[in-house]
A and B are shown apart, each in its own frame.
Chain A
Amino acid sequence: MNASSFAPLAVVLPFFGAALAFLLIRHQRSQRIVSISVLTLTLVLECILLGAVWQTGAQAVNLGGWIPPFGITMVVDQFSALMLVVSTAISLAVLIYAAGQGMTDGDEDGPISIFHPTYLILVAGVSNAFLAGDLFNLYVGFEILLTASYVLMTLGGTTPRIRAGVTYVVVSVISSVLFLTAIGMIYAATGTVNMADLAIKLGELDPGTQMMLHLMLLVAFGIKAAVFPLSFWLPDSYPTAPAPVTAVFAGLLTKVGVYAMVRTETLLFPGDRINTLLMVVAGLTMLVGILGALAQTDIKRMLSFTLVSHIGYMVFGLAVASVVGIGAAVFYVVHHITVQTSLFLVTGLIERRGGTANMDRLGGLARLSPLLAVLYFIPAINLAGIPPFSGFLGKLGLMQAGVELGTPLAYILVAASVLTSLLTLLVMARVWNRAFWRTPEDAVHPDPILLATTTDGSTVRDSGNVSGQSSGRFGGRSTVNLLPKSMVYPTVGLVALGVSLTILAGPLFSLSDDAAQDLLDRTPYIEAVLGEGSAP
Chain B
Amino acid sequence: MSVNITLLLIMGALYAAGIYLVLERSLTRVVLGLAMMTNATNILLLATGGYQGLAPLFNAEIPPEDYNDPLPQAFILTSIVISFSVTAFMLGIIYRSWVLGRQDEVQDDIEDRRVASQSSYDAEDDADVPEDTTEFTPADEAEEAPGSQRGQGTGPTGEAKR
Contacts and interface: CB of A to CB of B under 8 A. Distances in A.
Nearest to A236: B109
A473 B153 CA distance: 12
B160 A239 contact: no
Interface in B91-105: 93, 96-97, 100-101
B129 interface: yes
Contacts of A176: 82
A475 B97 contact: no
A23 interface: no
B66 interface: no
A169 B93 contact: yes
Contacts, number: 156
Given A107-B161, A356-B125, A162 B37 contact: no
Interface stretch (B1-9, B40-48, B56-64, B131-139): B40-48
Contacts of A319: none
A105 B161 contact: yes
Contacts of A239: 123
A150 B85 CA distance: 11
Contacts of B158: 156, 158
B86 interface: yes
A155 B154 CA distance: 19
Interface of B: 22, 27, 30, 34, 37-38, 41, 44-45, 47-48, 71-72, 75, 78-79, 82, 85-86, 89-90, 93, 96-97, 100-101, 106-107, 109, 111-112, 115-116, 119-125, 127, 129-130, 147, 150-151, 154, 156-162
Contacts of A356: 122, 124-125
Given A155-B162, A360-B120, A296 B115 contact: yes
B89 A180 contact: no
A156 B157 CA distance: 11
Contact of A151 (B89, B111, B120, B160): B89
Closest 10 CB pairs of A and B: A444-B120, A188-B48, A360-B120, A358-B122, A242-B162, A184-B45, A163-B107, A473-B160, A159-B151, A184-B44
B160 to A, nearest CB: 5
Contacts of A445: 120
Contacts of A361: 120, 122
Nearest to A181: B41
A297 B121 contact: yes
A86 B30 CA distance: 37
B119 A444 contact: yes
Contact of A166 (B27, B123, B150, B160): B27
Given A147-B82, A166-B93, A181-B41, A160 B127 contact: yes
A229 B117 CA distance: 25
Contacts of B154: 472
Given A154-B93, A174-B34, 19 more contacts: A110-B162, A150-B89, A154-B96, A159-B101, A166-B107, A173-B34, A173-B38, A180-B79, A183-B75, A184-B75, A187-B45, A187-B71, A187-B72, A242-B162, A297-B120, A358-B123, A471-B125, A473-B159, A475-B161
B127 A184 contact: no
| Residue of B22, B44, B156 ringed by the most chain A CB atoms within 10 A | B156
B86 A156 contact: no
Contacts of B48: 184-185, 187-188
Contacts of B147: 156-158
Interface of A: 101, 105, 107, 110-112, 136, 140, 143, 147, 150-151, 154-160, 162-163, 165-167, 169-170, 173-174, 176-177, 180-181, 183-185, 187-188, 193, 236, 239-240, 242, 295-298, 301, 356-358, 360-361, 444-445, 471-475
A154 B47 CA distance: 36
Contacts of A158: 100, 147, 150-151, 158-159
Nearest to B69: A191
Contacts of A112: 161-162
Nearest to A295: B115
Nearest to A296: B115
A240 B123 contact: yes
Contacts of A177: 34, 37-38, 41
Contacts of A136: 75, 78
Contacts of A150: 86, 89
5 contacts: A158-B147, A166-B106, A170-B34, A174-B37, A475-B157
A159 B162 contact: no
